Structure 1
Amino acid sequence: MDLTGAIWHKSTRSSGNSGDCVEVAANLPGVVGVRDSKDPSGPVLTFAPAAWRAFLRHAKRS
């Protein structure tokens, strides 16, 4: 999947001290990318926008 043009944002829930950071790119049409900020050239998980919204709704309830 071509993620050229992705604008990555660090999660506000990421830990500032231990380096456990997640970045999300939600600016691409039809896909949301999630990656480890410590390995920006590493693997990226991709989700359909509706699936990502469902995940966020569930995570906020937990």
Structure 2
Amino acid sequence: MRRSNHRPNTGLKVIGYILMAAGIIGLIASIATSRPIRVHRVSESRVAADPLTGEGVVRYEIRDSGLW
């Protein structure tokens, strides 16, 4: 009689590993494509005179319109 080294669940394990790898690749791809391509940054500076002292006052403001 000939004995085979074939295990009955080996095929299911291979399919499971392939599906897990595909899931990880899909997760990485979805995270990479969900980020905004461009981040719009607006910087603005204003110069005004302080009414009490007469000194020049500079105000800087930076606004981001993205999540990253």
The TM-score bracket by the shorter chain reads under 0.3
TM-score (norm 1): 0.26
Structure with bigger RCO (C-alpha 8 Å, 6+ apart): 2
Q: Which has the larger radius of gyration?
A: 2
TM-score (norm 2): 0.24
